[in-house]
Amino acid sequence: MSYKNFPMVPRVIFGRGSFNQLNEIIAPKRLNINAPFIYLIDDVFKNEPWLISRISLSYDDKIMYISSKEEPKTSQVDDLVEDIILNTKERPSGIIGIGGGSMLDLAKAVSIMLTNKGKSHEYQGWDLVKNPAIYHIGIPTISGTGAEVSRTTVLTGPEKKLGINSDFTPFDQVILDPELTKDVPKSQWFYTGMDCFIHCVESLNGTYLNAFSKSYGEMAFNMCKDIFLNDNLSTEEAQDNLMMASWHGGMSIVYSQVGVAHAMSYGLSYLLGTKHGIGNCIVFNHLEAFYPEGVKLFKSMVAKHNIELPKGICADLSDTDFDIMIAVALGLEPLWENALGSNWKKIMTPKKLKLLYQKL
């Protein structure tokens, strides 16, 4: 048996107000005055001077505001890379992603594609990237996805929704400043937070589980229970803890995998554009057969926070639509193997999966 040798984020700074140290962190990483830092920032912050005014641009540094209305696409990555190549004198000194999972994934993908030939969809999969990415920093502004720590950047391409999983994907630096999450709308806080909770349930109940994943997964799972079910934390403590739970949840799946909810949610996202957090919630709500304890807890969290999950989202779909979703979902073999074991194909047939999708 040979064990995988995973890279990790080599540098991380944590603390309320740590974002203020961004400028001093990047200064030594500037290659020269013609090699700018490019900021990819969620456009929700466009008119938010409390955040933007703390970024000091030098030389040709540039902020690109990007909408996270839709999740990152390979074509979007390719357009951004082309724009950067055409408008910079030299290859950038670094890419800095500021936002939720969408911006973090875009920053990772752009930094990879600036040093690798061709189109980003060619790298969707495992270990296809040849050259190291340029220096990239992730600064989450909403907690839950674990994208700040993971080895993947999830992209929707012409044929599939699949990550670029590679040793060059993880950030070189992460800044964890929980204060940046202060204005996240409640429903989004819940959906993205539940992404973390679901990562833990899927990891802790998977066949790939091992002590590495279990220790991180249990830590994040308990923090989520505390944040979403108990009333013992202050607002600040809850923000701090959710940011760390996201990190630990991400660490847990480094050495295991996610499961049924994620596989099905990828199918929804590919066909209907359903976003990751809410998509996971819509699916997970119906997975008591696979994750009885986790779903029970989830339902009490939904009730406690008065969250209205959308219903009937597959009501008007055609057979062809179902086939597309089923193909995307069943294509994610490691997720099913983790969830159901090596015989998973016998357990989760296309027919059974269709019945599950029809429940949503």
User: How far is the C-alpha of 169 from the C-alpha of 154, rounded, in Å?
Assistant: 11
Q: Which of residues 54-73 bind ligand NAD (CB under 6 A)?
A: 68, 71-72
Nearer to Zn ion by Cβ, of 26 and 147: the residue is 147
Q: Which of residues 180-209 bind Zn ion (CB under 5 A)?
A: 195
Binding mask 37-76 for Zn ion (x = CB under 5 A): ----------------------------------------
Q: Is 282 in the site for ligand NAD (CB under 6 A)?
A: no
Pairing relationship of beta strands 161-165 and 152-156 according to DSSP bridges: antiparallel
Q: Is 184 in the site for ligand NAD (CB under 6 A)?
A: yes
Q: Which does 138 bind (CB under 5 to 8 A by kind): ligand NAD, Zn ion, none?
A: none
Nearer to ligand NAD by Cβ, of 93 and 280: the residue is 280
Distance of CA 222 to the CA centre of its chain: 20
DSSP string, 32-83: -TTS-EEEEEEGGGTT-HHHHTT----TT-EEEEE--SS--BHHHHHHHHHH
User: How far is the C-alpha of 182 from the C-alpha of 179, rounded, in Å?
Assistant: 6
Q: CB of residue 100 vs ligand NAD: minimum separation in angstroms?
A: 2
Owner of token pair 């540094």: 61
Please state, as a whole number, how many other Cβ atoms lie within 10 Å of the Cβ of residue 322.
18
Distances (CA, A) of 159 to 75, 118, 122, 310: 12, 16, 11, 27
Give the one residue of 97, 99, 193, 294 binding ligand NAD; rule: CB under 6 A. 99
Which residue is at the shortest CB distance from ligand NAD? 101
Q: Is 265 in the site for ligand NAD (CB under 6 A)?
A: no
- Among the candidate windows 188-196, 207-215, 230-238, 336-344, which touches ligand NAD by CB under 6 A? 188-196
Size of the residue set binding Zn ion (CB under 5 A):
1
Phi and psi (nearest 5°) for 326?
Answer: -65, -40
User: How far is the C-alpha of 186 from the C-alpha of 223, rounded, in Å?
Assistant: 18
Identity of residue 249: G
Give the one residue of 82, 127, 167, 183 binding ligand NAD; rule: CB under 6 A. 183
Q: Which residues bind ligand NAD (CB under 6 A)?
A: 42, 44, 68, 71-72, 99-103, 105, 141-142, 145-147, 150, 152-154, 180-181, 183-184, 188, 192, 195, 275-277
Q: Which residues bind Zn ion (CB under 5 A)?
A: 195
